[in-house]
Structure 1
Amino acid sequence: MVSYSTTSSKPNTFDLFRRERRFLTHEHDMLRTSLQKFLEKEAVPYIEKWEEEKYTPREFYEKLGAQGFLCPQVQPEYGGLGLDFGFNLVLAEELHRVGVGTLASTSSSIIVPYLERFGNEEQKKRYLPKCVSGEVTTSVAMTEPGIGSDLASMSTAAIRERDHYIVNGQKTFISNGINASLFFVAVKTDPKATPARKGVSILLVDADTPGFFRGRKLKKLGQHSTDTVELIFEDARVPVGNLLGEEGQGFYYLMEKLQQERLLIALGAMVIAEEMLKTTMSYVKERHAFGKPISSFQNTQFEIAEMATELKMAQTFLDDLTEKHMQGGNFVTQISMAKWFITEMARKMSIRCLQLHGGYGFMEEYPIARRYRDVAVMPIYGGTTEIMKNIIAKNLGL
């Protein structure tokens, strides 16, 4: 079984990072080992540079594709391996563990599945093999200035003129906007629809589409190696053949895939929490104050004990949900619980771990500084904590 472990000189010491997950097999373990070796060579030495440049080069994604790490779930007739969600999980975990290139997981496990599920045969044959190889990277464009979580209120309009849609509007906070060559853009094809969500459709927009422009590369608090941009549409001409699925169904397509997206966000937050606690435990054992390691102070021990307990409980809950998700169940309420609780837990943990590092935690040379910045947005994207609580309350019958 796949497990995470740390060495211990005490045979009876509880191993916080060891987890036996029945849904992961030897084949998943083999992928993890291969991916870890790849990232150690192709990502870890360059992370600092990519953070400074606010960009992960396209070549990194192409190398991932060349090694067979991207889109493992895509069926063989479209160039993939037809593997189960456990392989997507391994990809997400290891990318979050090193803290770079996480958009490879987003593209493979969140965006490309829209094409697999709702695309027609021509669209699948045109794009899926290139997504698997890394030649095409994807981005989803939903958010607009001023609308936040109220997706149905978007104003980007796509008006049909014969065999094209004429698209006008603006998107913001779009991850992978620089690297992406294929954009899944949520638009209003019927601005007068009632309710408004019935007027939303999704268009596949190629990066070289006339009238489509990338705007500013946005400056962010964290996740610096992941580029985030604005997108601008000025009479952009998108072929009617690039409509994903049916007109007016875009909102429902997006909602259908949110369970997997939020599960993966919770998974990413869990990995970051594990890494923060692991590095902090090592630090407090090595750092001395007043003649003894700070791990011997009662306050340090209580802080670590509390975080370890929260982490273990969250691990158990998330592993159970992941197994159920892989079996095809619908667990929107529980996944909403996991998304808000685990991302908030990780954000709070970043503060506590930074505090235990003292002044050194504020220095960029220590990884806790970057983790502190990077985790801050996780309770926001993919559905805010407040939205998650609304879903839970509604499904509890309130």
Structure 2
Amino acid sequence: MQRNLFEEDHELFREVAAEFNARSVAADYADWDAAHLMPRELWTAAGEQGLLGLAVPEEFGGAGMPDYRFRAVLDEEFARANHLAVGLAFHLHDDLVLPHLLAYGSEELKQYWLPAMVSGEKVTSVAWTEPGAGSDLRGIRTKAVRDGDDWLITGQKTFIGNGISGDAALVLARTDGGTGRGSRGSFSLFMVEKGEGYTTGRQLDKMGLKASDTAELFFDGVRVPARNLVGEAGRGLEYAAGQLPQGRLAIAVASSAVARTVYEATVAYTKDRNAFGERVIDFQNSRFALADILTEVEVTESYVDRAVLAFNEGRLGAADAARAKLWASERVKSITDRCLQLHGGYGYILEYPVAQAFLAARLLTIFGGTSEIMRDVIGREIAG
């Protein structure tokens, strides 16, 4: 089935993304994976190639390309090159931090942050989740208390991508004085620089996507200037909810891209691999499995492509994005499992892309809101 999502400009951008993967990532990616950390030079190289902050207006140094199809192209190329950890790191920076600054940040914040984020000079992370609060952000305990012209932030964050390598975090904190669950008007967002006093805890050892560092962050009365407040105080959850569709669309796009890449790699493997005197693909079971997988891949692509176009037109609501993420992430989890099975013993060896994709895909039903949360969002819309 032919896709009709992309146009000539997107394919030209694909060439740039593919060249970046070949020149700046491929030779050293395995070393970064072993070190659990990507070098800062990768970010500046991406900035020089115009791969960061695609939606940022030209006045702030960006490309001024809000068309999300360009981001989809980038994700597809990271998947095709098996550089999934780079795609995740860029997603945190581009699909979670940047939209909040663009939508709610003051002119001063935009002038300070956007050019540096586009160039790769500043790497950012999203510090929302905590040891006792993951998908349920109303359960966070990190507090921000006003102190003259500043805010004092105290608390702990965990599962923070780019936490080690990043220069700053978009922090969600309670500003109602409480320490437990609160109303939606009780939280605020702050851009907090590492130099302002938060400390990085241990680097977490993940199942997959190891080259993208993940860490704990600690805030012990960190003094943050009031100018670093993003938008208005007390509206943090409202802002987060407003930008969730983009974050969840990004996960759906990545899921679709990984599913297609793993399927194609598995077809190639089963054509090349022999068993009992025949190619693996010549067994009926293999062909049936691949027929099911291809159908799911194409259905997923069509569904996610439609969501991308809806986002471009401003029509992708919270439940729409939840459905796209739920479907695509659950499909890629299943597809990578079945493709690994078709690889036999080689599928269990980490040097094979299917093994790495299997581990990476497992995150996608959890990250950005678990599948259970997605079902709840969708179910509440159904119930009215």
TM-score by length of 1: 0.92
Say yes or no: does 1:101 pair with 2:86: yes
CA distance in 2, matches of 1:331, 1:373: 29
Q: CA deviation at 1:195?
A: 4.4
Structure 1 residues without counterparts, runs of 5 or longer: 1-15
Q: Which residue of 2 aligns with 1:12?
A: none
> CA contact under 8 A between 1:153 and 1:196: conserved in structure 2?
no
2:10 to 20, 24, 28: 28
Q: CA deviation at 1:194?
A: 8.7
TM-score by length of 2: 0.96
Q: Which residue of 2 aligns with 1:383?
A: 369
Q: CA deviation at 1:267?
A: 0.6
Q: Which residue of 1 aligns with 2:308?
A: 322
> CA contact under 8 A between 2:92 and 2:161: conserved in structure 1?
no
Aligned-residue CA RMSD (Å): 1.4
Local SS of the residue matching 2:356: helix
CA distance in 1, matches of 2:363, 2:321: 18
> CA contact under 8 A between 2:170 and 2:189: conserved in structure 1?
yes
Q: Which residue of 2 aligns with 1:6?
A: none
Per-residue CA deviation, residues 301-351 of structure 1 (Å, 9 max, x unaligned), is: 111011111111111111111111111113332321121111111111111
CA distance in 2, matches of 1:106, 1:90: 17
One-letter amino acid matched to 2:304: L
Q: Which residue of 2 aligns with 1:367?
A: 353
Counterpart mapping for 1:140-289 below 5 A:
140-192=126-178, 195-210=182-197, 212-289=198-275
Q: Which residue of 2 aligns with 1:89?
A: 72
One-letter amino acid matched to 2:20: F
Local SS of the residue matching 1:305: helix
One-letter amino acid matched to 2:196: T
Q: CA deviation at 1:86?
A: 2.2
1:57 to 39, 45, 65: 39
> CA contact under 8 A between 2:135 and 2:368: conserved in structure 1?
no
> CA contact under 8 A between 2:86 and 2:211: conserved in structure 1?
yes
One-letter amino acid matched to 1:271: A
- Identical-pair percentage: 36
Local SS of the residue matching 1:311: helix
CA distance in 2, matches of 1:230, 1:96: 27
One-letter amino acid matched to 2:4: E
CA distance in 1, matches of 2:177, 2:361: 36
Local SS of the residue matching 1:277: helix
CA distance in 2, matches of 1:165, 1:159: 5
> CA contact under 8 A between 1:42 and 1:60: conserved in structure 2?
yes
CA distance in 1, matches of 2:352, 2:78: 19
> CA contact under 8 A between 2:96 and 2:126: conserved in structure 1?
no
One-letter amino acid matched to 2:36: K
> CA contact under 8 A between 1:73 and 1:81: conserved in structure 2?
yes
CA distance in 1, matches of 2:79, 2:199: 30
Q: CA deviation at 1:85?
A: 2.2
CA distance in 1, matches of 2:108, 2:79: 34
Q: CA deviation at 1:104?
A: 1.6
Q: CA deviation at 1:47?
A: 1.5
Per-residue CA deviation, residues 119-178 of structure 1 (Å, 9 max, x unaligned), is: 001111111111111101111110000222110111101111101111110000000111
- Count how many residue pairs are aligned between Structure 1 and Structure 2: 379
Per-residue CA deviation, residues 106-128 of structure 1 (Å, 9 max, x unaligned), is: 31233111101100011111111
CA distance in 2, matches of 1:325, 1:171: 30
One-letter amino acid matched to 1:101: V
> CA contact under 8 A between 1:73 and 1:88: conserved in structure 2?
no
> CA contact under 8 A between 1:78 and 1:124: conserved in structure 2?
yes
Runs of 4 or more, structure 1, over 3 Å off, are: 192-195
> CA contact under 8 A between 2:122 and 2:168: conserved in structure 1?
yes
Say yes or no: does 1:346 pair with 2:346: no
Q: Which residue of 2 aligns with 1:337?
A: 323
Higher relative contact order (CA 8 A, sep 6+): 2
Per-residue CA deviation, residues 88-108 of structure 1 (Å, 9 max, x unaligned), is: 222232223322411123312
Per-residue CA deviation, residues 205-259 of structure 1 (Å, 9 max, x unaligned), is: 011013x100010011111111000000111111111110000000010000100
